[in-house]
């Protein structure tokens, strides 16, 4: 009886040991790749390509202003577990990317805006029409579906490089995402179909330059070099708004709407929100396009 019990124990132990590699492989298959992005729209892009194979953390969460954002201590601790950091060129990265690398030297830092020719930040005021952009480039490349196609390829390449065993899955998701981007681009073009090219809309912070360029529009920014306009500049904007027939002034939730309200009241128009940092990127972009169309009537 004891001999049979010992034989059974040995047999079970052998089966368990033989099964360990398979258990390890199964665990590896379900363990998500941890990555970090700068802003919410990037999370949308990475999730479209990575699907359930990635776990995405966002530095500047919804509602945060990426121009002045500073990571919290717990975010810096969590960053040590990330395998990839997807950068996009927003302002806070200038001060923090080197610190992120210092916290996690093994983490791959990927500039998803690589390969995109950036526009100067809009300075469309009378005082700035000499073309002085002070060397500042517009980081808002995520607001143009054609440019997101370039960013998507950079994301795919990084995921495959870091996690080559799941390349097929990433590539399949990438192809689906590219089809979705083409479909979204066509839908937005249809929104502006029949509209005269070069129509202008007024916006507090000039976030929509790439969107405007993609769809034949032009933005008139209210702020000057990140600052509220002075009284004389404000009056010039009001006069220009009247000349252009502006009835809607767009603002984003992360910025003050004080100047926008002043201009809208003077133009007997309204203030409307257009969030360039919304998490539901595709749905939001189509909604914003509809708002712009209504404003340009």
Better-scored residue on pLDDT, 51 or 198: 51
- Tell me, yes or no, whether 262 and 178 share the same domain: no
- Tell me, yes or no, whether 87 and 130 share the same domain: yes
* 23 found inside a domain: no
**Residue 119: per-residue pLDDT:** 93
**What is the model's pTM?**
0.84
- Tell me, yes or no, whether 205 and 184 share the same domain: no
The total number of structural domains in the chain stands at 2
- Tell me, yes or no, whether 199 and 184 share the same domain: no
Per-residue model confidence as pLDDT tens digits over 126-168: 444 443 444 588 999 999 999 999 999 999 999 999 999 999 9
* For residue 6, pLDDT beyond 70: no
Candidate from 43-52, 255-264, 273-282 with smallest mean pLDDT = 255-264
**Residue 198: per-residue pLDDT:** 84
Categorize the per-residue pLDDT at 64 as very low, low, confident or very high, splitting at 50, 70 and 90.
Answer: confident
We report the CATH number of the domain holding residue 244 as: 3.40.50.1980
* 20 found inside a domain: no
* Domain final residue pick, 160, 189, 218: 189
* 18 found inside a domain: no
- Tell me, yes or no, whether 247 and 158 share the same domain: no
- Tell me, yes or no, whether 73 and 161 share the same domain: yes
- Tell me, yes or no, whether 120 and 156 share the same domain: yes
* 280 found inside a domain: yes
* 10 found inside a domain: no
- Tell me, yes or no, whether 182 and 201 share the same domain: no
**Residue 67: per-residue pLDDT:** 83
* 54 found inside a domain: yes
* 119 found inside a domain: yes
Residue with tokens 């202003």: 65
**Residue 122: per-residue pLDDT:** 67
- Tell me, yes or no, whether 52 and 184 share the same domain: yes
* Domain final residue pick, 164, 189, 214: 189
Q: What residue numbers bound the domain in which 229 lies?
A: 194-295
* 291 found inside a domain: yes
- Tell me, yes or no, whether 140 and 200 share the same domain: no
Categorize the per-residue pLDDT at 244 as very low, low, confident or very high, splitting at 50, 70 and 90.
Answer: confident
| Contact call for residues 97 and 109 (beta carbons, < 8 A) | yes
Residues of the chain with pLDDT > 90, as a percent, come to: 63
What is the three-state SS of the chain? Answer: CHHHHHHHHHHHHHHHHHHHHHHHHHHHHHCCEEEEECCHHHHHHHHHHHHHHEEEEECCCCCCCCCCCCCCHHHHHHHCCCCEEEECCCHHHHHHHHHHHHHCCCCEEEECCCCCCCCECCCCCHHHCCCCCCCCECCCHHHCHHHHHHHHHHHHHHHHHHCHHHHHHHHHHHHHHHHHHHHHHHHHHHHCCCCCCCEEEEECCCCCHHHHHHCCEEEEECCECCECCCHHHHHHHHHHHHHHCCCEEEECCCCCCHHHHHHHHHCCCEEEECCCCCCCHHHHHHHHHHHHHHHCC
- Tell me, yes or no, whether 225 and 270 share the same domain: yes
**Residue 17: per-residue pLDDT:** 58
* Domain final residue pick, 169, 189, 209: 189
- Tell me, yes or no, whether 62 and 99 share the same domain: yes
């Amino acid at each position: 009886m004891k001999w049979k019990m010992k034989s059974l124990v040995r047999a079970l132990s052998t089966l368990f040991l033989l099964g360990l590699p398979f258990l390890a492989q199964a665990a590896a298959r379900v363990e998500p790749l941890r990555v970090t992005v700068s802003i919410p729209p990037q999370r949308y892009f990475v999730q479209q390509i990575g699907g359930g194979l990635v776990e995405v953390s966002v530095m500047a969460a919804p509602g945060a202003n990426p121009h002045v954002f500073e990571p919290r201590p717990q975010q810096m601790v969590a960053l040590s577990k990330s395998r990839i950091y997807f950068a996009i060129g927003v302002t806070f990265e200038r001060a923090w990317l080197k610190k992120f690398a210092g916290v996690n030297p093994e983490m791959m830092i990927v500039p998803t805006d690589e390969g995109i020719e950036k526009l100067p930040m809009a300075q469309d005021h009378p005082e700035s029409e000499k073309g002085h952009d002070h060397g500042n480039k517009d980081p808002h490349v995520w607001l143009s579906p054609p440019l997101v196609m370039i960013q998507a390829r950079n994301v795919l390449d990084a995921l495959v490089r870091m996690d080559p065993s799941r390349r097929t899955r990433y590539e399949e998701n990438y192809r689906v995402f590219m089809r979705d981007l083409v479909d979204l681009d066509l839908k937005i073009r249809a929104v502006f179909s029949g509209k005269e090219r070069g129509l202008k809309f007024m916006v507090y912070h000039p976030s929509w330059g790439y969107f405007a360029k993609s769809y034949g529009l032009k933005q008139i920014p209210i702020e000057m070099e990140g600052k509220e306009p002075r009284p004389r500049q404000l009056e010039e904007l009001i006069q220009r708004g009247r000349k252009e027939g502006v009835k809607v002034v767009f603002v984003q939730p992360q910025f003050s709407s004080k100047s926008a309200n002043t201009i809208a009241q003077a133009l007997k128009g309204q203030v409307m929100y257009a969030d360039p940092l919304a998490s539901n990127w595709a749905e939001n972009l189509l909604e914003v396009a509809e708002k712009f169309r209504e404003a340009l009537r």
